[in-house]
Amino acid sequence: MLDKSYEPQKKESLIYKKWEDNKCFKPYSDFHKDSNQENYTIIMPPPNITGQLHIGHALNNTTQDFFIRYKRMQGYNTLWIPGTDHASIATEVKIIDSLKKEGLSKEKLGRDEFLRRAWQWNDKYGGRIKLQLKSLGCSCDWDRCAFTMDEQRQKSVLHVFKSLYDEGYIFRGEKLINWCPTCKTALSDAEVEHIDEDSSLWYIRYPYADDSGYLVVATTRPETIFGDVCVAVNPEDERYKDKIGKYVVLPIINKKIPIISDNYVEKDFGTGVVKITPAHDFNDYEVGRRHGFEPIKIMNLDGTMNEFCGKYANLDRYKCRELLVADLKSLDLIEKIEPYRLPKATCYRCHNAIEPMMSKQWFMNMQEMAKLGLDAVDNGELEIVPKRVEKIYRNWLENIKDWCISRQLWWGHRIPAYYCKDCGNSMVELSAPSKCSKCGSDHIEQDPDVLDTWFSSALWPFSTLGYPDDTADLNRFFPTSTLVTAQDIIFFWVARMVMLSKKIMDKTPFSKVLINGIVRDDEGKKMSKSSNNGVDPIEIIEKYGADSLRLSLLFGNGTGNDFRFSEEKILEDRKFINKVFNSGKFLELVLSQTYETKLDKSKLNMFDKWIYSKLDEAITEINKLVDNLDICQAVNKMYSFVWDDFCNYYIEFSKPYVYNEDKEIRANACAILKDVYLNILKLLHPIIPFITEDIYSNFTNELIIDKSYAESLGKFDREKEKVEKIISLIQKIRETRLSYNVAPAKRISLVIDKSNISDESINIINEAKLVLSKMINIEKIDVLDSIGNDFIKFVSELGEFYFYKNEVLDTEKEREKINKDIDKINSEIKILESRILNPNFVSRAPQQLVEKEKSRYEYLLTSKKSLEEKLHDLDKA
């Protein structure tokens, strides 16, 4: 028995358990090793264990689950691998925060104890995430669940690191890198966020060494003056041409530095003179390198000034700036200070300012890798949806630089590099060497640093399948099929997966990438942890059920478009599920009144054939849309098929048959209704898995998740057309009744003029007699030889029809209505005339269209004429 009403809360977890117990989420090939079904594989973007999932995750994972369930039912050998990400820096920041609350610090705890805490953290939050995914209904194979730092994934990371090191793609060196003084680690370029901030442009006077006045330098960072190695002007700048090669004296520290020329300098900005600080600015680093200057480091790793800065040493850089500017002012070396808005580089995790610093780090050379990434889209191995995202992807790869992969953190994959304390030799090995390969010393130390968290994520498509081991999974499921993810990690993750998969596995890791839009709150703001407007999917699921949430996420949202989340939308969409549920109730009711249901294909009536045709049409369309990753339109199609075609019409059509006195008719009608309904459940299962499973189990002993996708009994064009005509007649009758204010309960007669209607129409109407009487309260159908004045006429596609005046008439209403109709027709006639009377249209538009428009025009003219006649008759009467 179905529940009294749709109440999802109680049942969903039980249903999920049933799926798990029956191993429904496992690929078919796990049980049938020699299965040759085509594979369909998705790797889940592993959520960070920093916290819990929000609606954006729910959107991505619902999308993935939709594809997986759909493909599973279509007979693919499906595998969806779930997992979580250790999120090195993000998690470490969180743990440090929580330690702070206990009055602890990471240094106090020590590395081992800190890591123990981190693993505890993983147990807690990783577990919560899995729970959330299960509540959402995700049908992923939990036995294959991976964690970016579990044993197998550590092994993958080691192997990839070593092989890229051996090939020379990974190297160690001292370069200018992004340094977060708060997190105290290096960051990659991708991890730096630029935020516009109000600041100033300081114009500082640099006296010439020969005492002939001074040069004015405009800078946004006066405190880096200690690291200046020269000042630069544009070689074409007339103002300074004769100064090139001369020297200026750095204020405060009184150091002589040269004036050089470089094209990098823009004449029109500031004073056209730039101070060059190679150790603390990326452009200056390049300029310095071009002109052979050694960078001078002036900052400590915590963002304070170093001993090189005299009395400013150990001051925070901003404090230093303040004092220095004051000092310069008192020396009259500040020409002016202008307000200036500049993009401030900040850490994507702690949001504090980062500093470019010289530091010894590990890097990955990306030049060749980027080509691999570009090839993938160029030669069609990888399709990115929506298409526009491809440009973003391409642009990033075209401007890529070396990837700084080492982090001065503890939570992460420790770099497998070992240094000999005696001879300084460095070794990269899969396991810790006991002796130095060069001098034989056993004073060996592992590099204390860990890898960028995105290094391990980049290997996800093959690390999850068992790389570097030669596993059955790797052979069977790599490369995977579709990747579904959010747009903010295209660079961090998607591009790097493509590059590394091509490099390591020699294959593009997936053939399609679907990039979902951003989830916003109901005010249109981006949902994020920092704005604290995130919504926990569990909360919504408890309130409305997972199916409602899933439907709401998938329905009415264009592919790749941003999505505005609101509870109202969930309430709106839930109505659809309720509708599906209630149609199940109806089926249950009619089945309970029937002893036998047997589907006899030879006994389909025209309505049955119509619904099967519509079903067939819907399936075909949905297949096409899903293949194009257009879930939005696919769900739209399901919605209108189920609600409009099935519920509003077919169920009503079926009533005279399922309640028929003839047992045989009744049995067959019930069987057909059931068949169509079960197919509808299959159609909908990928969007709303729980309710469809629940209802399906009510009518069968099988699990819908395992069944094949919806399939129609056939396609019947002639009957389809007939029923469409019936439908339009029904609509016309309803409209006419309403316009004459005929009470819905009043049974009236439908009249046909025998001389003015085709035999076919009469046949169709006879066939639909039962239905018409039921749906629009038609008492009887009179076929008359001729029609006089006592009738109300209306036209449908089946021909001309009449009501008895005395049954329906209200003269005033009638006149109003006819006038309205004439107005409508007139405006359409106008539009048509503008075309068919236009010789250009007639000669250049497709002939078919011209014909169509012409016949429509003729039809309108006759209709108009008959309406005018009617009006005339009315006036007479």
Choice from 74, 636, 697, 749 touching RNA (CB under 7 A): 636
> Under rule CB under 7 A, which residues in 815-834 are in contact with RNA?
828, 831
Contact 40, 481 (CB under 8 A): yes
Of 183 and 486, nearer to RNA (C-beta) is: 486
Q: Is 844 in the site for RNA (CB under 7 A)?
A: yes
Among 715, 720, 702, 709, CA closest to 686: 709
Residue among 255, 579, 715, 854 that touches RNA (CB under 7 A): 579
- Write out the binding residues for RNA, residues 347-386 only, by CB under 7 A: none
Angle 266-272-273 (CA atoms, 0-180°, nearest 5)? 115
Query: Residue 418 and residue 657: Cα distance in Å, rounded?
Result: 81
Residue 572 touching RNA (CB under 7 A) = yes
Q: Give the pairing type, strands 230-233 and 247-250.
A: unpaired
Confirm or reject binding of residue 291 to RNA (CB under 7 A): no
SS3 804: strand
Q: List the beta strands (DSSP E) in 522-649.
A: 563-564
Interaction of residue 784 with RNA, rule CB under 7 A: no
d(CA 44, CA 65): 10
Under rule CB under 7 A, residue 569 binds RNA: yes
Confirm if 41 and 509 have CB atoms less than 8 A apart.
no
- Per-residue DSSP letter, 169: S
Distance CA 690, CA 707 (A): 14
- 750, 781 Cβ separation under 8 angstroms: yes
Ramachandran angles phi, psi of 111, nearest 5°: -60, -45
Helix (H, G, I), strand (E, B) or coil at 360: strand
Check binding of 264 to RNA (CB under 7 A).
yes
Distances (CA, A) of 738 to 595, 615, 741: 40, 31, 5
Q: Which is nearer to RNA, 142 or 841 (CB)?
A: 841
- Indicate the pairing of strand 355-364 with strand 403-404: antiparallel
Q: Which stretch binds RNA (CB under 7 A): 276-284, 443-451, 701-709, 716-724?
A: 276-284
* Residue 132: CB minimum distance to RNA, A: 23
Q: Please, which of residues 505-564 interact with RNA by CB under 7 A?
A: 518, 524, 526, 556-559, 561-562, 564
Contact pattern from residue 7 through residue 46 relative to RNA, giving x for each residue in contact according to CB under 7 A and a dash for the rest:
x---------------------------------------
Six-digit token string for 540: 């919504």
Provide CB contacts within 8 A for 787, sequence distance 6+. 751, 753, 756, 793, 802
Site for RNA in 396-425 (CB under 7 A): 396, 399
**Minimum CB distance to RNA, residue 706 (Å):** 26
Q: Is residue 645 a contact point for RNA (CB under 7 A)?
A: no
Name which of 158 and 400 has its Cβ closer to RNA: 400
Q: Which stretch binds RNA (CB under 7 A): 31-39, 120-128, 643-651, 786-794?
A: 643-651
Which region, judged by CB under 7 A, interacts with RNA, from 78-86, 239-247, 392-400, 410-418? 392-400
Indicate the residue among 147 and 657 with the shorter CB distance to RNA.
657
Q: Which amino acid is at 579?
A: K
- Closest to RNA by CB, 417 vs 676, is 676
CB-nearer residue toward RNA: 89 or 420: 89
Identify the H or E element spanning 453. helix 453-458
Going by C-beta distance under 8 Å and a sequence separation of 6 or more, which residues neighbour residue 115?
A: 410, 411
**Smallest gap from residue 196 Cβ to RNA (A):** 6
Size of the site for RNA (CB under 7 A): 95
Q: Helices 651-658 & 769-776, crossing angle to 10 degrees?
A: 110
β-bridge mates for residue 384, sequence order? 513
The dihedral region occupied by 688, where left means phi > 0, alpha psi between -120 and 50, and beta the remainder, is beta
Closer to RNA by Cβ: residue 261 or 712? 261
Q: Which residues contact 157 (CB under 8 A, 6 or more apart)?
A: 413, 451, 455, 456, 459, 463
- Of 167-206, binders to RNA (CB under 7 A) are 189-190, 192-194, 196
Least distance to RNA, CB of residue 262, Å: 9
Complex with RNA: residue 103 or 846, whichever CB lies closer: 846
In 10 A of CB 250, how many CB atoms? 19
Answer yes or no whether residue 738 interacts with RNA by CB under 7 A: yes
Among 734, 769, 805, 864, binds RNA (CB under 7 A): 734
User: Closest approach of Cβ 318 to RNA, in Å?
Assistant: 16
**Range 172-187 burial, b when 16+ CB lie within 10 A, else e:** beebbbbbbbbbebbb
Q: How far is the CB of 812 from RNA (least distance, A)?
A: 15
Least distance (Å) from RNA to the CB of residue 342?
A: 5
Q: Is 861 in the site for RNA (CB under 7 A)?
A: no
**Candidates 314-322, 328-336, 391-399, 795-803; binding stretch for RNA (CB under 7 A):** 391-399
Q: Would you give the distance in Å from CA 319 to the centre of its chain?
A: 44
Shorter beta-carbon distance to RNA: residue 6 or 607? 6
335 binds RNA per the rule CB under 7 A? no
Task: In angstroms, give the least distance from the CB of 789 to RNA.
Answer: 27
Nearer to RNA, 432 or 849 (CB): 849
> Minimum CB separation from RNA for residue 236, in Å?
12
User: CB-wise, 27 or 534, nearer to RNA?
Assistant: 534
Q: Which of residues 201-230 bind RNA (CB under 7 A)?
A: 218-221
- Write down the number of H helices and E strands in the chain: 29, 29
In this chain, which of 35, 306, 408, 633 binds RNA, going by CB under 7 A?
A: 633
**Which residues within the stretch 654-693 sit at the binding site for RNA (CB under 7 A)?**
655
> Could you say which residues in the range 464-493 bind RNA, by CB under 7 A?
487-488, 491
Give, as ranges, the residues between 134 and 163 that touch RNA (CB under 7 A): none
Question: Is 582 a binder of RNA (CB under 7 A)?
Answer: yes
Least distance from RNA to the Cβ atom of residue 101, Å: 29
Q: Does 586 bind RNA (CB under 7 A)?
A: yes
Give the alpha-carbon dihedral of 567, 572, 577, 580, to 10 degrees: 180
Interface residue with RNA, options 290, 336, 391, 601 (CB under 7 A): 391
Nearer to RNA, 170 or 176 (CB): 176
What is the closest distance, in whole angstroms, from the C-beta atom of residue 687 to RNA in the complex? 15
Q: What is the largest CA-CA distance in the chain?
A: 120
**Smallest distance from the beta carbon of 566 to RNA, in angstroms?**
7
Question: Does 339 sit near RNA (CB under 7 A)?
Answer: no
Produce one character per residue of 34-66: b if its CB has 16 or more CB atoms within 10 Å, e if not: eeeeebbbbbbbbbbbbbbbbbbbbbbbbbbbb
| Spatial CA neighbour of 281 closest among 403, 351, 178, 352 | 178
Footprint of RNA on residues 612-631 (CB under 7 A)? 625, 628, 630
Contact (Cβ atoms closer than 8 angstroms) between residue 351 and residue 344: no
Q: Give me the least distance between CB of 695 and RNA, in Å please.
A: 12
Report, in Å, the least distance between residue 585 CB and RNA. 4
**Closest separation between CB of residue 313 and RNA, Å?**
23
| 39-58: contacts with RNA (CB under 7 A) | none
Burial class for 264, CB neighbours closer than 10 Å (0-12, 13-18, 19+): middle
CB-based burial label for 405 (10 Å; 0-12, 13-18, 19+) = buried
User: Of the two residues 700 and 731, which places its CB atom closer to RNA in the complex?
Assistant: 731
- Closer residue to RNA, CB minimum distance, 141 or 452: 452
